[in-house]
Structure 1
Amino acid sequence: MPPARRARRTTRAVAAVALLLTATAGCGDAGDLVGAGSTPTAISPDRLWPQVTPASSPAFTIDEVDTEIVKGVSVPGDDIRAVDPVAVVRAEIRSNPGDYSAGGYDRTARLMAECAKSGAARQGCPVLQPYYRDLTGDGHDDLTLGFLQLPGNITAVRVYTVEKHRLVQVMHWEDAVSGVELAGRSVIIRSPSEVAGYEYRLQWTWDPEQKAMLLTHDEMLRSGKSTRLPSASASSR
């Protein structure tokens, strides 16, 4: 991840794994109900350090609301499907030259030339298939775009909408990605964890007041076949 982006990442806290106790009732030989045992007593939460004055402002700036007008890319007829995804990525590279120069993701910048080719010659293009869905609730499609940041194992995920005839980036994230899903007004990204058997699940949801996708969930979950994401291609194109 480029240094300019690294500071924007929220600190991930390892979530405690809770064991769900379920009471089951079975039938005995005579048809009688069998007790499942005593029910655990409910315990109310304890407030810690009540003498500490509650904070009124954040200690760190992590750019929870981070929108940006994409310069140099027009939106013909306010139709986001008419926008060239490759041109959008080129615009990002132009606006962040330090991130995509030597020592950064310079290979991404070099491989953008492959995007102008067709057929098998285009396989080196780092821009992934775009997906369109109304994430803002205004009745018009928005653009979810991904591209590889090379060298490395990083996928950049971006969301764009149209506002006042301009293309506006309303969400960005980059990480080692194991799956991306669109659900309702949300973008869900799963990433590998350094803890064996777990993965990170981050969810951005559109906030109409902030006019941005906000990080509303950041959690660690058990991974495995049961958590494998379904393909979003059928419903998002």
Structure 2
Amino acid sequence: MHRSRLALAAGLVLPAVLLAGGCGDPGDLRGAGSTPTAEAPTRLWPKLPPPSAPAEDYGTIESLPVKGVDVPGGDLRKVNPVAVAKADFDENPGMYSRSDTVYKQTAEQLDTCETGHADGGGEDGDGECPVLNAYYRDLTGDGKDDLIVGIRLARGHAENLDIRAYAVEKRKLTQIMEMGDAVLGVELAGHEVIVRAVSGMQGYEYRTVWSWDSHQKTMLPTTDEIVRSPNTPKRKPSRKPEPAASARPVPSTSGSPSDSPSDSR
């Protein structure tokens, strides 16, 4: 405890001691009991050989240059988000293959976008252009705004949204994040992007936190967990059994009726 906090605590305790002087409490320090001993984690199967390759992960995550788009003065707010999305989706398919139906259909929808439109297709992307409104946030920690773009994927597929983020690295437009999923919602918290996605388990959802990694120079999924969905209806409590009927009051010896508890006011 800091000295200033000790002085403040003493100033608050002294009046209380004076007020309670006749209570017979000497005010000595008392032990709070024994402290539980911290236990080190137990390692299971310590001789198990390490795997030769990951069974399943996000694949190779790396930053990618986006060609054909200039960034005046290194300010991403001066760049058209629709032009960025179209150029990047065409050059970097990301988690998709160019032969995938979802990629082809989304690319066709991107061709309907007008690059002169400043923001995109709106908050929900109900228009013809699948690019949603752009957002800006410093994700890399360099004090400059980075660009976050959402591309609504062609309908009829499991994934509904492709999320991409861009920064200026060495004066060049660079993709620092790309992922697609059945997205429930996206949030920005500090330098992080939080993505909520549908889970196959009823009442639960995936929550993935993407954070900037200075070694990889890209956003990485630093936290990936399955959590209880906040929109899940709470289970109704079971009906409590009704109390048994109380016995009828015994008449008094004087013959006058006794008052029932329900009659009292």
User: Structure 1 residues 102 and 201 mapped into 2: Cα distance closer, same or farther (>3 Å)?
Assistant: closer
Partner of 1:110: 108
* Superposition deviation, residue 63 in structure 1: 3.8
SS at match of 1:88: helix
Aligned to 1:75: 71
Which of 222, 225, 243 matches 1:219? Answer: 225
What is the aligned partner in structure 1 of residue 42 from structure 2? 46
1:183 is matched with which residue? 189
Query: Secondary structure of 1:123's match?
Result: coil
| CA deviation profile, 1:160-203 (whole Å, cap 9, x unmatched) | 10011110011110001000011111111000111011000001
Normalization by structure 2: what TM-score? Answer: 0.62
- 2:140 is aligned to 136
Shift of 1:54: 4.4
Between the aligned partners of 2:109 and 2:45, the Cα distance in structure 1 is 54
Give the Å deviation of 1:59. 3.1
Distance 2:99 2:50 in 1: 43
> Hey, what's the Cα distance between the residues in 2 that align with 1:64 and 1:94?
19
Partner Cα separation in structure 2 for residue 102 and residue 216 of structure 1: 28
For residues 1-237 of structure 1, the aligned pairs below 5 Å read: 45-54=41-50, 58-59=53-54, 62-63=58-59, 65-96=61-92, 99=97, 103-116=101-114, 123-151=127-155, 152=157, 153-225=159-231
**Percent identical residues:** 48
**RMSD value, Cα:** 3.0
Change (3 A) 1:81 1:59: same
Cα contact 2:204–2:226 (8 A) shared by 1 = yes
- Of structures 1 and 2, the one scoring higher in RCO (CA 8 A, sep 6+) is 1
Aligned-pair distance for 1:58? 4.3
CA drift at 1:80: 0.6
Shift of 1:64: 5.2
1:102 positional shift: 6.6
Task: Work out the CA distance in 1 between the residues paired with 2:113 and 2:215.
Answer: 37
Matches of 2:219 and 2:105, distance apart in 1? 29
Deviations 1:14-58 (A, max 9, x none): xxxxxxxxxxxxxxxxxxxxxxxxxx9976532111122446x64
Q: Post-superposition shift, 1:107?
A: 2.5
Distance in 2, matches of 1:203 and 1:43, equals 29
In structure 2, what is the equivalent of residue 17 of structure 1? none
Contact 2:148/2:166 (CA < 8 Å) preserved in 1? yes
Letter in structure 2 aligned against 1:204: W
User: Which structure has more strand as a fraction of its residues?
Assistant: 1
Counterpart contact for 1:181–1:188, Cα < 8 Å: yes
Q: What secondary structure does 2:209 align onto? A: strand
Structure 1 gaps of 5+ residues are 1-39, 227-237
Task: Specify whether residues 134 and 102 from structure 1 end up closer, same or farther in structure 2 by C-alpha distance, changes over 3 A only.
Answer: closer
- Judged with a 3 Å threshold, the aligned counterparts in structure 2 of structure 1 residues 129 and 100 are, in CA distance, closer, same or farther, namely farther
The Cα of 1:149 is off from its aligned counterpart by: 1.5
Q: Say if 1:101 and 1:180 are closer, same or farther in 2 by CA, change over 3 A.
A: same
Mapped contact 1:156–1:172 kept (Cα < 8 A): yes
Structure 1 residues 115 and 48, CA gap change in structure 2 (3 angstroms) = same
